[in-house]
Amino acid sequence: MKTDTSSIRPLMILGTSSGAGKSLMAAAICRLLTNQGEQCIPFKGQNMSNNAWIDINGGEMAYSQAVQAWAAKLDPICYMNPILLKPLGDCTSEVIHLGKSVGTTKAKDYYKDWFQPGWQSIKTGLNELKALYPNGRLVIEGAGSPVEINLKERDLTNLRIAQYLNAKCILVADIERGGVFAQLIGTLALLSPDERKLIKGIIINRFRGDSSLFDSGRDWIEKETSIPVLGIMPWLNEVFPPEDSLDLLERNLKKNSAEIELAIIKLPSLSNFSDLDPLEAEPTISLRWIKPGDFLGNPDAVILPGSKQTLKDLRTLHSSSLSTQIKSYAKNGGNVFGICGGLQILGKTLNDPKGKEGSSSKDFKGKLEGLNLLPIETVFLSEKSRVNREIMTCWPQPCLVSGFEIHHGISTIKAPTSDSIKPIAKDPSLGWVMNKKNLGIIGGTYLHGIFDNGNWRRHWINELRKRKGLSLLPTSKEHYKDERDKVISRLSDSFKTHIDLSLIT
């Protein structure tokens, strides 16, 4: 079951639970070893996330592996995440293999129908990466806990990969959750002797306060497990991209300097929420996440992000008071902006004859009224658009922007063009904006990553600031990728300060 690992010398980051910090630890290791002259290759055999990235060839992969690729100073490529499961609700997921959609599955059928094709995709991804980077070191992220007894024999992405590659494994435990000793001892007790031999080090993550207070705990862990504790990572104040949308509930940063409040609609099938990270990084912007049933209030703008199940989410908005609140807010001069599924929701009608965006229920015929804030109609097709774009914008100012499209829907404008409605970019299919005198701005785009473009983002923010009578911000702003890179470097510096990786490398 093993393969030759002499050239890739893999490290694997396992966790005692979901959310233990595996993604960020992997990113930190990628940047640290890259800075030391190594070629690091991030890898996660299987990820479940609706936060996706499109690689240079149009392949879908999880955003967290894209972040790790940037940490390793590489371009993301879908082989780094050969299996991506995108939840559709009702225990169903879209299955992405090697960047391409290959079907859907119910959770109960997944291992029966997809285990062998999935394992083959993982091996293909590994082989492709080895061909691309023959002297590289794999830095592998596990998923959840590696010792879920009901899943362990069928687990594609933890110990099976660790044993296949004979990886040196680091076990990460989150002390913030409490019970860190039980987390570690319980996880190790559920490993077979051969599996336990792979665990070469332990990291205690998210420690608050003086870490010397944990010295006795560190000594106890090393004595009881005979595994070195590589270090204790402190609680980090930086805001990092979450892998799971549930983490958004914990991102309630208070900014004393905030002058603009954005209400972000937390759709039930929210996707590509990393689109909002650049706005969260703006010191004058505060984000307030609004769930269906919450009170909208009077923010400076409302943003509807992407959705994996646009029709289902639209029905949820209609069945709650939030749909009415958004329309009333817009009618009274409020500013509304939609991204991908959010753009579609702002339109007149959405037609989903193939059931691609959540219209497959028996009591639904596949066509639904949108919020009717933009004069567009959307039809969802079988084929998915997956493409990187670089294009000039027309609004709010001409800017060269980059991003990517990932959507089934095709939207067309159903009103004569006028001074009040115009395309956002040179390619009018990318979105529109309606800017009527004495009213708010209603607009949207299919371009994920639009806010990453610093100049465009600042021009958009300044449109809000003008309406509020605030002074304008400088528009010569760096691309968010440069800001993100600085955050990754700070993460890596903290890791280097607190973790002694030389104990196992």
What are the tens digits of pLDDT across the range 223-261? Answer: 999 999 999 999 876 555 555 554 554 555 567 779 999
- At residue 238, the pLDDT reads 55
Tokens 């700070």, residue located: 490
What mean pLDDT is predicted for residues 6-27? 88
| One-letter identity of residue 50 | N
From 114-118, 152-156, 221-225, the region with the lowest mean pLDDT: 152-156
- At residue 1, the pLDDT reads 44
Classified as helix, coil or strand, 154 is helix
Please tell me the chain's helix, strand, coil percentages from 3-state DSSP, rounded to the nearest 5.
35, 30, 35
State how far the Cα of 323 lies from the Cα of 368, in Å rounded to an integer.
13
CA 448 to chain centroid, in Å, comes to 12
Q: Is it the case that residue 426 has pLDDT exceeding 80?
A: yes
What mean pLDDT is predicted for residues 282-286? 94
Q: What is the pLDDT of residues 289-298, one digit of tens each?
A: 999 999 999 9
State how far the Cα of 29 lies from the Cα of 231, in Å rounded to an integer.
13
Instruction: Supply the DSSP string of 203-226, one letter for each residue.
Output: EEEEE-S-GGGGHHHHHHHHHHH-
From 200-209, 297-306, 319-328, 348-357, the region with the lowest mean pLDDT: 348-357
- 8 Å CB contact between 457 and 451: yes
Residue from 169, 340, 394, 399 carrying the catalytic annotation: 340
- At residue 377, the pLDDT reads 95
- At residue 152, the pLDDT reads 85
Classified as helix, coil or strand, 129 is helix
Classified as helix, coil or strand, 468 is helix
Instruction: Give me the half-sphere count of Cα atoms (radius 13 Å) on the Cβ side of residue 205.
Output: 28
What mean pLDDT is predicted for residues 485-490? 92
- The H-or-E segment that residue 378 falls in is strand 376-392
DSSP-assigned beta bridge partners for residue 15: 172
- At residue 185, the pLDDT reads 97
What mean pLDDT is predicted for residues 413-423? 78
Give domain limits for the chain. 14-239, 254-483
Tokens 């006795």, residue located: 216
Q: What is the pLDDT of residues 381-390, one digit of tens each?
A: 988 999 999 9
- At residue 254, the pLDDT reads 62
State how far the Cα of 312 lies from the Cα of 242, in Å rounded to an integer.
23
Q: How confident is the model at residue 5 (pLDDT cuts 50, 70, 90)?
A: very low
What mean pLDDT is predicted for residues 47-66? 95
- C-alpha dihedral (190, 196, 202, 205), degrees to nearest 10: -30
Burial class (CB in 10 A: 0-12, 13-18, 19+), 439: middle
Classified as helix, coil or strand, 317 is helix
How high is the mean pLDDT of the chain?
91
Q: How confident is the model at residue 207 (pLDDT cuts 50, 70, 90)?
A: very high
Q: What is the pLDDT of residues 167-203, one digit of tens each?
A: 999 999 999 988 999 999 999 999 999 999 999 999 9
What mean pLDDT is predicted for residues 356-376? 76
User: Could you name the CATH architecture of 254-483?
Assistant: 3-Layer(aba) Sandwich (3.40)
Q: How confident is the model at residue 7 (pLDDT cuts 50, 70, 90)?
A: very low
| One-letter identity of residue 456 | W
State how far the Cα of 499 lies from the Cα of 465, in Å rounded to an integer.
44
Q: Is it the case that residue 301 has pLDDT exceeding 80?
A: yes
**CA gyration radius, the chain:** 23
What mean pLDDT is predicted for residues 276-292? 93
- 8 Å CB contact between 184 and 171: yes
Q: How confident is the model at residue 96 (pLDDT cuts 50, 70, 90)?
A: very high
Q: How confident is the model at residue 271 (pLDDT cuts 50, 70, 90)?
A: very high
State how far the Cα of 15 lies from the Cα of 205, in Å rounded to an integer.
10
Handedness of CA 296, 299, 302, 305 (dihedral sign): negative
* Closest among 287, 277, 344 to 312, alpha carbons compared: 344
Residue from 448, 459, 479, 498 carrying the catalytic annotation: 448
254-483 has the same fold as 14-239: yes
Pair type for strands 92-97 and 100-106: antiparallel
340 is catalytic: yes
* Number of residues in the chain: 505
State how far the Cα of 45 lies from the Cα of 115, in Å rounded to an integer.
12
State how far the Cα of 310 lies from the Cα of 314, in Å rounded to an integer.
6
What class is the 14-239 domain? alpha beta
Q: Which segments of 232-382 does DSSP mark as H helices, in order?
A: 277-280, 310-319, 322-331, 341-345
What mean pLDDT is predicted for residues 252-275? 87
State how far the Cα of 88 lies from the Cα of 356, in Å rounded to an integer.
10
- 8 Å CB contact between 42 and 262: no
Tokens 């993460």, residue located: 491
| One-letter identity of residue 10 | P
- 8 Å CB contact between 407 and 272: no
Phi (first) and psi of residue 172, to 5 degrees:
-105, 130
Q: Is it the case that residue 4 has pLDDT exceeding 60?
A: no
* Number of other residues whose CB lies within 10 A of the CB of residue 475: 16
Q: How confident is the model at residue 436 (pLDDT cuts 50, 70, 90)?
A: confident
State how far the Cα of 19 lies from the Cα of 37, in Å rounded to an integer.
29
- At residue 237, the pLDDT reads 65
What mean pLDDT is predicted for residues 330-347? 96
